[in-house]
Amino acid sequence: MPIIYIDADACPVKAEAEQVASRHQCPLVLVSNGGIRPSQNPLVRLVVVAKGPDEADKYIADQVEKNDIVVTNDIPLAAKVLDKDASALRHNGDIFTRQNIGLQLAKRDLMADRRAADPFFIEKNRGGNKSFSKRDRSEFLNKLELLIRKSQHEKENGER
């Protein structure tokens, strides 16, 4: 069974991930800097890491193994997960792949450079983030289901 790790501090799909994990009897690990209630579900473990930038990401990157699944919006974490032959999934259902991670890292770095060069960049470009929708939630559920089944298949057949 794959382990599902969730970068949980700002994750809007924790309950949905727990439902899917329970259906498949997969362990689920919520990694947070604090402020999240522990679940009564015996499959769910809450790990509270030290406060600080990227502490949850570091923990997940150290723990994840081949065929595990990580739910995150953090692109550098997703790259580390893919390097370990695990899967990475955004909260909206977008799957990080070896084919798309390089472009996403480059775009992230470009935007960081633009923000650093122009102190008014954020004000000029407000409104770019759309709100989390029912469609995003549904897409997440579908893709998590797909990744669990794929992981189970690969584990059974020694693939990946």
User: Contact, 8 vs 59, CB < 8 A?
Assistant: no
**Residue 148: helix, strand or coil by DSSP?**
helix
Cα separation, 27 vs 18, in Å, equals 9
Q: What is the pTM of this model?
A: 0.83
Residue with tokens 């924790």: 14
Helix axes 75-83, 55-63, angle to 10 degrees: 10
Average pLDDT over residues 39-54: 93
Q: Across the chain, what does the average pLDDT equal?
A: 86
Compute the average pLDDT of residues 107-123. 64
Domain 4-157 has CATH 3.40.50: yes
Residues 6+ apart with CB under 8 A from 159: 153
